[in-house]
Structure 1
Amino acid sequence: MNAPRAAAGGRFNRLVMRLLKIGIVSGLLLVLLAESMSSLPDERPPYVSWVSWVQMATALFAIGVYTYYRPGRKRWIAAAALASLAATGLDAVYDQGEVRGVGTAELLSLGLLMLFAVRHWDAAPGRWVAFATGAAVMTIGSRLFVIEGAAVGGTALILMAMLSVIGFGAYLRSMDKLRRETQEEVRRAERLELAREMHDFVAHHVTGMVVLAQAGQVAATDPLKSFADIEEAGLAALASMRRMVRMLRDDDAAGGVNPLGDLSQIEDLVDRFTREGMDASCFISPELAGAVAPEIAATAHRVVREALTNVRKHARGATRVRVVVAAAGGQGVEVSVRDDGRAARSRLGREPLAESGGGLGLVGLRERVEAVGGQLRAQVRPEGGWETAAWLPRAVAEVRADAAGS
């Protein structure tokens, strides 16, 4: 019950944010249109000057960067800031006479981009992007405050607004850090609790089996009776293990947190990866909801987690990552993670790290995928970048039970 409600809440939040962005972009475009056509009685409108057209193009570029900005695309913020500085320099070199410069919509757009630059402070290409954006915001006033005596007050207002934006961006950055630390603490607590549970019931039942085996060796009892008692203790241990695994898979247990991972948590995994500065997107086929066995969902989650970890460690120069979990035929699931980076080289500098045997994580991942009846491939993409893909059955393969028994 909690999972559908949380999914509906997530969709509603995304819809609200999308509508808010549409409203902001529409307002910026209206401001740009009004600014380019308005003028005082003794002035000519800005659209009569070619310099103003350059400034309008710069404003449209800044609005476009804000519209399509995603975490990991901070280079576009740098491009918008440098373009704004160039437009301001052009306005200073070429005197437009009685024509006022254009820059209000651009100023507002750069202020919004300043928020992202501070929030993603450490993301590529570096912290200098925030300083360049701040410089563009502060110097853009030279185009706007042409009336005598307005420059000082207007610059002070811009400075106060920019400091507010910087403070809010720093607050969002601290909240992102706190969220990551909280998630790590929850995972650590889950692992410790799982270790304690495993120790308690395994030690209890295995100790009982050992005692029964020892008693059967020294006591004058029927060996079949001793074997039956050991079998009963072993079945009790298996039943206890099944109860614990069932509890871990229950959506309502432990506040709905599944330490094994499932399809619903893949999107959160990609979102955390995105907040760390990479441009990552995720698509999960809606028809897979409730149609995949828990072990398969946990394996798909493990594939995505391992692939994203490899991208962070080994994909040099990667700027985009695409995660897709889609139905493959009637009984299969295709999980793929693709990036546009260059594979890290081994120490000998001859072959990619994953091909030289250094990727031990892929070895364990392949074993896990094959254990549920799936197939894994990790290879260089012809168009560049790396792909980690797995085909998984929607239900656990029956051969897995035979393999486990052997």
Structure 2
Amino acid sequence: MTERAAPSTPARSARVNGLNRLLMRLLKIAIISTLLFMLAAEMISSGPKTRPPMVSAVAWVQWAVSMFAIGVYIWYRPGRKRWIAAAALASLAATGLDVLVDQGTRGVGTAELFALLLLMLFAVRHWDAPPGRWVAIAVGAALSVLGIRLFAPEYEGAQVGGIVLILMAMSTVIGFGAYFRSLDKLRRETQEEVRQAERLELAREMHDFVAHHVTGMVVLAQAAQVTSTDPKKAFADIEEAGLAALTSMRRMVKMLRNDDSGAGTNPLGDLAQIEDLVDRFNREGTDTTCFISPELAGNVAPEIAATAHRIVREALTNVRKHARGATRVRVVVAAASGQGLEVSVRDDGRAARGRLAESGGGMGLLGLGERIEAVGGQLRAQPRPEGGWETAAWLPRAAAETA
């Protein structure tokens, strides 16, 4: 259903999404800056009796591997798991080189360690994505042995304790990755369930539209038989009705077949049933009035009438759920310019806050917008300057064929 709470309004939702993107970008910049600073500090740091790693050629190889791992984190996108695998294999090779060549200095890899932990999060979250699950296993192996070059072997138990700490951190990251993966899976399953339910309902109601057009064709044919109508005109009218039926059928079949159609393609209801919606809503205790322009009767395509009914139904449900203190609701379905009509639902309530406002699921506004765009219309949902909320849409009287 459409949401009126802050996250669901087009303008405010855009601001919230923009703020979230900005915060995520700033967080990523902070992480990258920290990793680079950590890597630079590793290269130049030294103890009382040890030289800095920058004097060793092996350390520069490890520096390059760390920079590569950081770069993979910077430019990683879903579907680029091969680069994660490359970073893990490079880390394993750098650790093997450290074991084979005694460089006489402490190894470099703390920044690489944190970068690989972040990449492990992505690898687990996109567990089933190509090139396969072995990528996460490779990253785990690289992290497990990384402690060999980070902790001095001369201190008894230092490497063992360090590896244990790394394994604990890795298990935490794996847990977060699995949690995010379960959220992604739940979201996909929920969307698919909504789409499947909408398609089934659309399939059940398709015969109503087909019957409407076919009945019109039959009436035209019967009228031509009993009147002195010009046969050419009668055939032209029948042809026009047939083309309208084919267009309507093609549009609905496209909705049924489109995997990305989203929610909200339910074609139930017509203009005559809008008053029933308003009456039921009025009986629930809110002063609700309705006006439907008489000139629209019989001059609106079935898909458009069903879409107008859906707009009113969703908007009234939205008022009931989110409009605190609403005392008046005005529903208007009137003729508009450009051979169209405007459907509007306005109230004087205030936006709800808390769990009730957040319980809409985030699908309503998207689904309603897609339904309206599918017939060539435009949706507007926004706060009113004088207070309250407005859900309005311009619709053509005859549905436009979508590309």
TM-score tier by shorter-chain length is 0.5 to 0.7
Amino acid at match of 2:376: E
| 1:295-317 CA distance string (max 9 Å, x none) | 399xxxxxxxxxxxxxxxxxxxx
Corresponding position of 2:65:
58
Structure with greater contact order relative to length (CA < 8 Å, sep ≥ 6): 2
The runs of 5 or more residues in structure 1 that have no matched partner are 225-230, 264-291, 298-395, 402-406
2:185 to 168, 177, 189: 177
Give 1:242's aligned residue: 304
Give, in whole Å, the separation in 1 of the partners of 2:9 and 2:179: 29
Q: Tell me the matched-pair count.
A: 263
Measured after TM superposition, the shift of residue 2 of structure 1 is 2.2
Say whether 1:145 aligns with 2:151.
Answer: yes
What's the secondary structure of 1:295's corresponding residue?
coil
Q: Unaligned regions of 5+ residues in structure 2, if any?
A: 1-7, 230-236, 242-296, 316-362, 379-395
Q: In the TM superposition, what is the alpha-carbon distance from 1:27 to its structure 2 partner?
A: 0.8
Please say if 1:8 is aligned against 2:18: no
Q: Distance in 2 between matches of 1:242 and 1:113?
A: 49
Alignment deviations for residues 312-368 of structure 1 (CA, whole Å, 9 cap, x no partner): xxxxxxxxxxxxxxxxxxxxxxxxxxxxxxxxxxxxxxxxxxxxxxxxxxxxxxxxx
Q: Per the alignment, in what secondary structure is the counterpart of residue 367 of structure 2? A: coil
CA distance in structure 2 between the aligned counterparts of 1:195 and 1:122, rounded to whole angstroms? 33
Does the 8 A contact of 1:110 with 1:133 survive in 2? yes
Corresponding residue of 1:74: 81
Identical positions, percent: 62
Q: Which residue of 1 aligns with 2:376?
A: 295
Q: CA deviation at 1:68?
A: 0.8
Match of 1:27 in 2: 34
Measure how far apart 1:91 and its partner are: 0.5
Would the aligned equivalents of 1:3 and 1:251 in 2 still touch at CA under 8 Å? no
Q: 1:7: how far off?
A: 2.5
- The structure-2 alpha-carbon separation of the partners of 1:262 and 1:153, relative to structure 1 and needing over 3 Å to count, comes to farther
Equivalent position of 1:121 in the other structure: 127
Q: CA deviation at 1:6?
A: 2.4
Letter in structure 2 aligned against 1:153: G
Residues 67-86 of structure 1: CA deviation (Å, up to 9, x unaligned): 11111111111111111111
Partner residue in 1 for 2:335: none
Aligned partner of 2:365 in structure 1 is: 256
Cα distance in structure 1, aligned partners of 2:366 and 2:212: 27
Q: CA deviation at 1:236?
A: 3.2
- C-alpha distance in 1 between matches for 2:25 and 2:133: 28
Contact 1:249 1:258 in 2 (8 A): no
Q: CA RMSD in A?
A: 3.9
CA offset digits 1:188-224 (Å, max 9, x no partner): 122233334444566578669969988999xxx9899
Partner residue of 1:357? none
| Partner residue of 1:159 out of 152, 167, 170 | 167
Any conservation in 1 of the 2:304–2:375 contact (CA below 8 Å)? no
The aligned residue for residue 130 of structure 1 is 136
CA contact (8 A) 2:53 2:106 kept: yes
Render the CA deviation track for 1:2-28: whole Å, top value 9, x for unaligned.
Answer: 233322222222111111100111111
Change (3 A) 1:96 1:196: same
TM-score by length of 2: 0.56
Q: 1:195: which partner in 2?
A: 203
TM-superposition CA deviations, 1:126-164 (whole Å, max 9, x none): 211111111111111000111322122111111111111
Equivalent residue number for residue 48 of structure 1: 55
Match in the other structure for 1:374: none
Q: What residue in structure 1 maps to residue 360 of structure 2?
A: none
Q: Partner of 2:281 in structure 1?
A: none
Is the CA contact 2:124–2:174 (under 8 Å) kept in the aligned structure 1? yes
Measured at CA, do residues 250 and 36 of structure 1 come closer, stay the same or move farther in structure 2, by a change above 3 Å? Answer: farther
Which amino acid in structure 2 is aligned with residue 256 of structure 1? L
In structure 2, relative to structure 1, the CA distance for the partners of 1:214 and 1:44 (3 Å cut) is: same
1:119 and 1:173 in contact (8 A); partners too = yes
| SS, match of residue 236 in structure 1 | coil
How has the CA–CA distance of structure 1 residues 129 and 296 changed in structure 2, closer, same or farther, with 3 Å as cutoff? farther
Which whole-Å CA distance do the structure 1 matches of 2:148 and 2:48 have between them? 21
| Code of the aligned partner of 1:135 | A
CA deviation after TM superposition for structure 1 residue 116, in Å: 0.7
Match for 1:152: what amino acid?
Answer: V
Letter of the 1:155 counterpart: I
Report how far residue 61 of structure 1 moved. Answer: 0.9
Q: Which amino acid in the other structure matches residue 307 of structure 2?
A: V
TM-score of the two chains, using structure 1 as the length reference: 0.56
Partner of 2:102: 95
Change beyond 3 A, Cα 1:74–1:243: same
1:114·1:133 contact (CA, 8 Å) conserved in 2? yes
